[in-house]
Amino acid sequence: MAGSRLQKIGSVFSRTRNLLRIGVIEKPLWFDVYAAFPPLREPVSRVPRPRYGKVKDVIPPIFYQEDQVRARFYRIYGSGPRPFDLSQLNYKSTCQRFVEKFNELKEEGKIEEEKLFEETGKALLAEGIILQRRGTDRVAQEDHQDVGSRDSAIHLQLRTLLEEMQEGKKDQKEQTPERAETQKEDPLPS
Amino acid sequence: MAVPRLLRAGERVVPGPARPGSVPPHPCDPRVSLPAAAPRLYSSVSAPVPVPVPAPPSAVDDSLLSKPLSHPDFFNLKELFSLKDLFNARVHLGHKKGCRHRFMEPYIFGCRLDQDIIDLDQTMEHLQLALNFTAHIAYRKGIILFISRKRQFCHLIESTARECGEYAHTRYWQGGLLTNAHIQLGSGVRLPDLIIFLSTLSNIFEPHVAIQDAAKMNIPTVGVVDTNCNPCLITYPIPGNDDSPTAMELYCKLFKMTIIRAKEKRRQREIFDELRRKAEGK
């Protein structure tokens, strides 16, 4: 029985069809089925060549409008009080409830844009979900994809540390001239 | 001299009994064949033996095998799965952006926080084609082989294959199982007519050897390709997740139902034809 083992040339179907045409093979079981229902792409072997120059990412990133609210929520409150339970298909996390409340209040339109976030927190508190603040509330930035943005809590701690160190240095500088003065005064009377 | 005629089967060039007064031809005369070679060269001395012509496909076989091909969905497979089912089974979740294979880019919907999301609309079309092909192969009594090198699902796949009455190979793949079958497995072995890959990668995250071997032996393949797999050589790829247990259970369930449905249909058809033949015979 003849056969064609050249998997790098053509597809399984093209090779079998050509062998049938010559007449060295008898029709396999799957041939008619493939001919009646061909796949969307012919299974021809391709070699993955490396890309040169600047590589463009053709896959678009997926972002939603609610992601801005979600990012702010996670920045301020951390991950919510309740852990995620992914075994349920229709599980709604604390963040998701926050986002839905935010959208509801936004549609009502009675509250201003800046106050909306705090109002949502208060509304959820009224419903019974206690949210503990983990970070400082920075002013909502336009670009949430800012790479240089750091955790505001750490910034605060560093700033306070720096201020304390500076105050400490000032105290030392005040103390040393006083000591110098006292030392200068001492030898004078002697 | 007359142009030598084309000899038909059974004709002899060896001269008959010499007529009185004629000179017997010289043995080296080209019109005379060597008598020793005569019985070998020509098929027979008496009436020509009819060349065995392959039996023309009877009307019964034709309707049994070719009629299902005219329907777009003969086995009604689209009722077995929906987009919601695929989503709930987490078929759309791919690997991280860094693991992406270049040839999977057309099948990817987008990238959510660096994780690839597979386009389920395309998966639906591919799954429909793949299941349809599997069903037709099972209907024609083809041998189906399930292959996966994921140890987590090895037992699930083997039990699926056992329940459909087909075959599975979820262990280490020896080099020449398909390409050297007649020596390794004995002569007269029938190779599978379809190979279903529930995971196209081997344990070392490289394409499974059987994909290449099946292409060499002209065996069509159906395979679940994740975002880090190469879908080129697979005849009917199904872009989808191959790591989540829910997704693998869904695939196993779908393939099992397809194969059992196709075999049932074939059995019913054969019984029906036999009854009809008996009725006509009477």
pLDDT in tens, B119-131: 999 999 999 999 9
**Residue in chain B lying closest to A58 (CA):** B105
Contact (CB<8Å) B111/A11? no
Instruction: Considering only the beta carbons, identify the residue of B105, B125, B132 that sits closest to A40.
Output: B125
pLDDT of residue A173: 73
Q: Give the residue with greater pLDDT, A127 vs B136.
A: B136
pLDDT, one tens digit per residue, over B151-181 is 999 999 999 999 999 999 999 999 999 999 9
Separation between Cα atoms, residue A46 and residue A31, nearest integer Å: 23
Q: Find the mean pLDDT for residues B251-265.
A: 97
| pLDDT given at position A147 | 46
Give the range with max mean pLDDT: B12-26, B50-64, B77-91.
Answer: B77-91
B230: chain A residues, CB-CB within 8 Å: 48
> Which positions ≥6 away from B43 have C-beta within 8 Å?
B9, B10, B49
Best of B126, B235, B244 to substitute, by most chain A Cβ atoms within 10 angstroms, is B235
Neighbouring CB atoms inside 10 A of B146's CB total: 24
Q: Does A44 touch chain B (CB under 8 A)?
A: yes
pLDDT confidence bin for A182, thresholds 50/70/90: low
| Residue A151: predicted pLDDT | 65
Is pLDDT larger for residue B257 or for residue B65? Answer: B257
Check CB contact of B105 with chain A, cutoff 8 Å: yes
Q: Hey, is the C-beta of A130 within 8 angstroms of any chain B C-beta?
A: no
Q: Give the pLDDT of residue B219.
A: 96
> Is residue B184 within 8 Å of B176, Cβ to Cβ?
yes
Instruction: State the pLDDT confidence band at B33, using cuts at 50, 70 and 90.
Output: very low
- Cβ separation B100–A59 shorter than 8 A: yes
Mean per-residue pLDDT over chain B, rounded: 86
The ipTM value here is 0.78
Q: Which pLDDT value is given to residue A150?
A: 56
Chain B partners within 8 Å of A145 (Cβ): none
Q: Which residue of A has its CA nearest to B119?
A: A59
What is the pLDDT, as a whole number, of residue A159? 85
State the burial class of residue A71 (Cβ atoms within 10 Å of its Cβ: 0-12, 13-18, 19+): middle
Radius of gyration for chain A, computed over Cα atoms and rounded to the nearest angstrom: 35
Question: Which residue reads 């996670």 in tokens?
Answer: A74
pLDDT the model gives residue B193? 96
Residue A14 has pLDDT above 70, yes or no: yes
Position B44 pLDDT exceeds 70: no
Which of A1-5, B14-18, B225-229 shows the highest mean pLDDT? B225-229
Q: What is the mean pLDDT of residues B89-118?
A: 95
Q: Which two tokens stand for residue B236?
A: 């009917």
**Residue B71 contacts A where some CB pair is shorter than 8 Å:** no
Region B268-274 average pLDDT = 95
Length of chain A: 190
pLDDT at position B89 is 95
Q: For chain A, how far is it from start to end, CA to CA, in angstroms?
A: 122
pTM for the predicted model, two decimal places: 0.76
The verdict on a CB contact (< 8 Å) between B129 and A37 is yes
Whether A39 has its CB under 8 Å from any CB of chain B: the answer is: yes
Asked if the Cβ–Cβ distance from A3 to B218 is below 8 Å, we say yes
Burial of B247 (0-12, 13-18, 19+ CB in 10 A): buried
Does B2 have pLDDT greater than 50?
Answer: no
Which of B88, B108, B232 is nearest residue A89 as measured by Cβ atoms?
B88
Of the two residues A32 and A159, the one the predictor is more confident about is A32
Backbone phi, psi, residue B115, to 5°: -105, 130
| pLDDT value at residue A186 | 52
Distance CA A32, CA A36 (A): 6
Q: What is the pLDDT of residues A45-74, one digit of tens each?
A: 999 998 899 988 999 999 999 999 999 999
- The 8-class DSSP code of residue A37 comes to S
Question: Is the pLDDT at B75 greater than 60, yes or no?
Answer: yes
pLDDT band of residue A17 (cuts 50, 70, 90) is very high
B51: pLDDT confidence band, cut at 50, 70 and 90? Answer: low
Please tell me chain A's helix, strand, coil percentages from 3-state DSSP, rounded to the nearest 5.
50, 0, 50
